[in-house]
Chain A
């Protein structure tokens, strides 16, 4: 009797499993037809594609060149080069960001740098097409030319 009960129960399980698979059969497919739908692919905002530094319309960024991201990066991907700048108000020298060098080739996209930045100066964008012909172009300068620090922390 137990034997027959086992058979019936197992057939029920089989039918249950087949129901689940047929639902998947008719579900919308997840495959992206990449080069064709180039504009629409990867719409998720949390996707880590490229590291960028936020700049406002006055070409100002929020990076204070504190170097926390450089210290935290497990791969030594970030290199911060600073310069001294004379402040007009106080008349003293101040350390400001000169070049923010980021090497895509050694980045593992772990996002430790962005979570640890006290100013939220760097964020992720969704662009993912990093393929280039020359290795030296993997080194990117994230701050724009002639950019400066945002005054009073306002955007």
Chain B
């Protein structure tokens, strides 16, 4: 099967002909950075369009229809608008922290984005502790949100940031615990190994009942971590105007917006990589012809369709449930999801030992 590292090695060899070693390393980093930035921005545009359309369909509307056929250029127009807007100077903010907060949020989500395996060999870096890396780097975003709320010198932003901090830190627990189920199952933290192991059966079916529970818990807590849907307390517009990013304007707000959408994508991508087989096509043991046909569909399409299913699920829940209250939110985590995932780990242990 086609391996993407062949292409990457070709580029590397080509560069080595003309440049010295350290120079090649620098150019490699530069190319990867540019690639990630462009992909990140384009993906955000696609996601914004998809979200607006799906939301509209859930509300019996048509969504954007004017700019281009079926409104596909609407996010581009929005992006141009947000780039041209003025960045307002606000009195009394801590300018350094105010600016730093945006970069923390966007860097956290971009670093997570880099580690997702998109195809065989198509990832920026394949850590041997990839799952751990995901968990640790995505929690840096909380610092950015807290800083944004605190540095803005506004009571709404500080309330929003505190809520967000409480929410993200508590949901990180059940999120991590449910990913541990997969680590127990596959015995590895390396993402490429985890994906390769799902050649015949996806993890969600391989691990039986414990992984199905873990998948649901992960979807709920991952959804809560993206600050959207029924868990959008940090930016509850009826109570806190816009929560932690009330004081941001222009492109600064655009970064928060971008990070929010990409976090949705990243959570869906992790869910599909660890539970639904990542870029691995659907294989069934014994059906060789079927497997052959499935292999002809490019893996990246498999990955993106799985991610789309997860995102659709998140939006579906978002338009079904009303917003939770802060005590209900914490109760859901500490009294329901946490015990379930703790018991689930024990369950998984027995499942692995005796079944």
Contact = CB atoms under 8 A, between A and B. Distances in A.
A29 B320 contact: no
Contacts of A17: 320-321
A133 interface: no
B129 interface: no
Interface in A17-44: 17-18, 20-22, 24-25, 27, 29-31, 33
A14 B62 contact: no
A1 interface: no
Contact of A29 (B60, B316, B317, B321): B60
A18 B320 contact: yes
B58 A24 contact: yes
A37 to B, nearest CB: 12
B65 interface: yes
Give the contact-size bracket for chain B. 10 to 19
A27 B316 contact: no
Contacts of A33: 62, 65
Contacts of B65: 31, 33
What 9 A-B pairs have minimum CB-CB distances, sorted nearest first?
Answer: A31-B62, A17-B320, A21-B320, A30-B60, A18-B320, A31-B61, A29-B62, A25-B57, A25-B58
19 contacts: A14-B320, A17-B320, A17-B321, A18-B317, A18-B320, A21-B316, A21-B319, A22-B316, A24-B59, A25-B57, A25-B58, A27-B60, A29-B57, A29-B62, A30-B61, A31-B61, A31-B62, A33-B62, A33-B65
Interface of A: 3, 7, 14, 17-18, 20-22, 24-25, 27, 29-31, 33
Interface of B: 57-62, 65, 316-317, 319-321, 335-336
